Amino acid sequence: MSEVREVTDATWEHDVVKSDLPVLVDFWAPWCGPCRMVAPIVEELAQEYAGKVNFLKINTDENPMVPAKFGIRSIPSLLIFKGGELKGTIVGFRPKSDLKKRLDEALA
């Protein structure tokens, strides 16, 4: 069973760039309504892709360096990394079917 773990500015290199598995990172903040709507979908995907993809979330209020590096201007933003490289970006709330499609495309 996979879970969505927290990543920070300090752990980014280890958790995302050096990950053996592809990684989906959810950029969010506690005050963001659409972020709260997408979180359960990301958790469902973490279960479905367990062992294939690592699912992480980063609080943009507490960790400003990584969002600035990737030009995050709107949240939620979901970034997909493979081999440490950015492979896909999803901005705003999207239905689960859209997220799965984009994730599968980025992983292909």
Catalytic sites, residue numbers: 32, 35
Torsion of CA 5, 16, 9, 90, to 10 degrees: -80
Which residues 6+ apart lie within 8 Å of 23 measured at CB?
Answer: 15, 16, 53, 54, 55, 56, 80, 81, 82
Are β-strands 23-28 and 54-59 bridged in parallel, bridged antiparallel, or unpaired? parallel
Amino acid at 44: E
Burial class (CB in 10 A: 0-12, 13-18, 19+), 37: exposed
